[in-house]
Amino acid sequence: MAGLVAGVDVGGTFTDLVIFDPATGAVKLAKVPTSLPNQSHGVLAAFEAKGADLSSLDLIVHGTTTTTNAVLERALCRTGLITTMGFRDVLELGRRTRPNAYGMTGRFTPVIPRDLRLEVPERLDARGNVLVALDEEAVRKASLQLLEKGCESLVIHFLHAYANSAHERRAAQIAAEVWPNPYVTMGHALLSESREYERGVTAAVNASVQPLLERYVLRLADQLAARGYQHDLLVMNGNGGMVSARTVSKEAVKTVMSGPASGVMAAVATGRRAGMLDLLTYDMGGTSTDVAMIRQGRAPVSNEIEVEYAMPIHVPMVDVRTVGAGGGSIARVDAGGLLRVGPESAGSTPGPICYGRGGHRVTISDANILLGRLPVSRFGQAVDAARVAMADQIGTPLGLTVEQAAEAVVRIANTHMAGAIRMVSISMGADPRDFALFAFGGAGPLHAVALARELAVPRVLVPARPGITNALGCVVADLRHDFVRTLNRPLDSVETGSVHAVFAAQEAEGRRLIAAENIALTTVRAEFSADMQFVGQTHLLRVPLPNAAPTRDDMQRLFEAAYHARFRVDLPTIRANLVNLNCSVIGERPEMDLSALIDPSGRQPKAVPQGTRPVWFGKWVETPIYWRDHLPLNLQLPGPAIIEQMDTTVVVEPGCLVTSDADGNLIIEVGHA
């Protein structure tokens, strides 16, 4: 493993590049504006900005928002559906919901419009028995009709195909005879579970982003090759693993929401090196905040994520929750006289008032700058306007001074973000005192200490480069394949041998796929879990299993313990149900040396402030300002302090103590004053 490894991540505003030299630990970083709609210009520009010699790179891992953006903006390829007679409207009817509990309004646009959804005679029952044979001629006609209507991709989605896929496979064969490209997705192929809406939407999203993703990654791979890169381009998936650009578009839907997953993977890797395996990740950006809970160095993965209203994408994804609070979130006093922050956002245009780009409503960033927490030199083009607005919009209605009003805005925002973190941690039975808060994103380190206080989390970890965490995630991520097999039977009627056989088959398939990728790995390991419930319940509890050969007693015992930990309820008289068997096969890549993310040559022997400025901690306190890259590794810095760096600002409140580890991560012990 001699060559360099590059991670390149496309975000909403910036494209970030990090290049590692595993031999020396040397690091190169680049940040360039994201190019839209074609993200590859920005990617290539990032390499050019560093004058990188692509022929010296052994591996490029890429995180792209191509599919995420296409889904959220419904900028999808024209896609047709062939489905069971009587069921073409499933994709439009959804699960009978509305966007909000209160307010009888809402809009919904199905992924595939009604005139491109065609029905053919065929029908299976719930056990997979054929009730109506597949009308092959009808499939042929429907395929031609959809081609005539200009469809580029095709979905074949039949009722109960999870129980018997023969009709879907045969229909796909027939369609392939006339379809001019390989963009044909079968419903059962991505997820073989019951629930026709979720399975159908997952397949429809896959088909309708497939051509986009394939064109994008293949073109990018060609461009990289033309510049001398000689290896496979790898692409990040939403499960926190990566796959080859050659095959990624076959299951294109798995790349949706891969950005937040990369951030969590970076947190896992950073935490592991820092000896912190239990982390609450907290990524605060301009419009929203993403949170996740990492336990024992493992990222949480869920198969049941709804990426927006009525858009369930049921493939394994890192379980990241989003709340509408970011630097641009708008603060206001409501009709009852109560202060509210978000979810409305000023976004990046016009943005906060202080940016001086025409924003006129008070935001969280305005509050931070008025409190001295953000440097006026970088963000304060219009501080005076922000002060006037803070007084008019918040201070006067509430009878507060400008500082008190700004402090109130920050506190309310913190309360909401703390609530989101509680919902992924405390409410799942975890004790926040066992965790560290991993703060990243441009605004995370600004609020992290206050949030940790609110949550009783004892320490905050601010990684070396909080603003390029996703690109770092690309570099450190593993290869990963997830498998789910549905049994849905009472545990005491399940043959232990069949459980072991399922796990063995899943593991073998995962190892085969990983071997085919031809990437340097230190080890390949498999993780096993079971989704269980008591007979009669509908919700599932995921129970990690120690190995691929658990006994029934093991599963019963582990399930009961997990259930008690979550709900504090014992139900000894009710039987357990075994619903899904899950296996994740993970190819671990060699650990990256992260110690040079901050250039060691810039470190000074002692922490010397660059200056001071007044910062509001309940009152104005003249606070020392440090430059992150100059701080020594044997740091012992008491709060209050402000630590600035290119990509973020860290606020250290009075009563806290900041130390540093060997990688230059800041560890802030939160004084509970």
Partner 1 sequence: MLDPVTLAVIQAGLQQVCDEMDLTFSRAAFSPVIAEADDRSDGIYSADDGSLIAQGSRGLPVFVGVMQFSTRTILERIRTGQTAAPDPGDIYIVNDPYLGGTHLMDVRFAMPVWRNGAIFCWLSNTGHWPDTGGAVPGGFSASAISAEQEGLRLPPVKLFKRGVLDTEIWSIIRSNIRVSEQRIGDVKAQASALLVGAERLTALVDRYGDAAVTACIRAMRSLAARQMRAMIALVPDGTYRAKAFVDSDGVVNRPLEIALSVSKHGDDLTFDFSNSSPPCMGPMNSVRATTLSSVYLAMRHIFPDVPMSAGAFEPLHVTGIEGTFLDAQYPRPVSGCAAEVSQRIAEAVFAAMVQALPDRVTAAPAGTSGNFGLGGHDPVRGSDYVMYQISGGGYGGNSDHDGLSNGCSTIGISKAPPVEIMEQNFPVLYRRYALHEGSGGAGQHRGGFGLDYEIELLRGEARASFVMDHGRTGPLGAQGGKDGAVNRVEVIRNGTVFVPPHLSKAQDIVLTAGDRVRVRTPGGGGYGLPENRDPDLIAEDVRLGRYTAEEARALWNWQG
334-to-359, 365, 396, 460 alpha-carbon distances in Å: 20, 20, 13, 33
- CB neighbour burial string for 530-545, b if at least 16 within 10 angstroms, e if fewer: bbbbbeeeeeebbbeb
Residue type, 521: L
Q: Are 228 and 234 in contact (CB under 8 A)?
A: no
Identify the residue among 94, 458, 632, 640 touching partner 1 (CB under 8 A).
94
Output the smallest distance, CB 123 to partner 1, in A.
8
Identify the residue among 1, 23, 126, 561 touching partner 1 (CB under 8 A).
126
Interaxial angle between packed helices 469-476 and 258-274, expressed in degrees from 0 to 180 and rounded to the nearest 10: 80
Output the smallest distance, CB 409 to partner 1, in A.
9
- The length of the chain is 673
Output the smallest distance, CB 39 to partner 1, in A.
32
Output the smallest distance, CB 541 to partner 1, in A.
8
Output the smallest distance, CB 57 to partner 1, in A.
47
**How far is the C-alpha of 54 from the C-alpha of 59, rounded, in Å?**
10
Give yes or no for residue 130 binding partner 1 (CB under 8 A). Answer: no
Q: Contacts with partner 1 in 310-369 (CB under 8 A)?
A: 334-340
Nearer to partner 1, 6 or 159 (CB): 159
Q: Contacts with partner 1 in 373-432 (CB under 8 A)?
A: 398-400, 404, 407-408, 411-412, 415-416, 419, 422-423, 427
Output the smallest distance, CB 655 to partner 1, in A.
17
Identify the residue among 51, 103, 605, 611 touching partner 1 (CB under 8 A).
103
Residue 263 has phi, psi (to 5 degrees) of -60, -40
**How far is the C-alpha of 217 from the C-alpha of 249, rounded, in Å?**
9
Identify the residue among 13, 100, 498, 634 touching partner 1 (CB under 8 A).
100
Nearer to partner 1, 485 or 630 (CB): 485
Q: ω before 33 within 30° of 0 (cis)?
A: no
Q: Contacts with partner 1 in 500-559 (CB under 8 A)?
A: 534-539
Q: Are 475 and 61 in contact (CB under 8 A)?
A: yes
**How far is the C-alpha of 128 from the C-alpha of 130, rounded, in Å?**
6
Identify the residue among 1, 93, 376, 565 touching partner 1 (CB under 8 A).
93
Spatial CB neighbours of 275, under 8 Å, sequence gap ≥ 6: none
Give yes or no for residue 461 binding partner 1 (CB under 8 A). Answer: no
Nearer to partner 1, 536 or 605 (CB): 536
512-to-135, 200, 480, 499, 507 alpha-carbon distances in Å: 36, 28, 12, 20, 9
Q: Contacts with partner 1 in 198-227 (CB under 8 A)?
A: 198
Nearer to partner 1, 501 or 571 (CB): 571
Q: Are 218 and 199 in contact (CB under 8 A)?
A: no
H or E stretch covering 330: strand 329-333
Residue 420 has phi, psi (to 5 degrees) of -65, -40
Q: Are 190 and 202 in contact (CB under 8 A)?
A: yes
Query: Percentages helix, strand, coil for the chain, rounded to the nearest 5?
Result: 35, 30, 35
Nearer to partner 1, 536 or 611 (CB): 536
Give yes or no for residue 640 binding partner 1 (CB under 8 A). Answer: no
Give yes or no for residue 196 binding partner 1 (CB under 8 A). Answer: yes
Cα dihedral 388→394→400→404 (10° resolution): -80
Only one of the segments 29-37, 71-79, 104-112, 587-595 lies at the binding site for partner 1 (rule: CB under 8 A); that segment is 104-112
Identify the residue among 62, 157, 160, 628 touching partner 1 (CB under 8 A).
160
Q: Are 289 and 446 in contact (CB under 8 A)?
A: no
Nearer to partner 1, 73 or 334 (CB): 334
Output the smallest distance, CB 241 to partner 1, in A.
28
Q: Contacts with partner 1 in 1-20 (CB under 8 A)?
A: none
Identify the residue among 508, 566, 599, 608 touching partner 1 (CB under 8 A).
566
Number of residues that bind partner 1 (CB under 8 A): 70
Give yes or no for residue 673 binding partner 1 (CB under 8 A). Answer: no
Only one of the segments 62-70, 118-126, 357-365, 513-521 lies at the binding site for partner 1 (rule: CB under 8 A); that segment is 118-126
Nearer to partner 1, 49 or 400 (CB): 400
Identify the residue among 13, 38, 55, 97 touching partner 1 (CB under 8 A).
97
Only one of the segments 87-95, 145-153, 175-183, 544-552 lies at the binding site for partner 1 (rule: CB under 8 A); that segment is 87-95
Give yes or no for residue 574 binding partner 1 (CB under 8 A). Answer: yes
**How far is the C-alpha of 154 from the C-alpha of 78, rounded, in Å?**
9
- CB neighbour burial string for 295-321, b if at least 16 within 10 angstroms, e if fewer: beeebbbebebebeebbbbbbbbbbbe
What secondary structure letter does DSSP report for 55?
A: G
Nearer to partner 1, 538 or 601 (CB): 538
Using CB under 8 A as the criterion, which residues of the chain lie in contact with partner 1 when the complex forms? Answer: 86-90, 92-98, 100-108, 113-115, 123, 125-126, 131, 159-160, 162, 194-198, 334-340, 398-400, 404, 407-408, 411-412, 415-416, 419, 422-423, 427, 534-539, 566-569, 571, 573-574
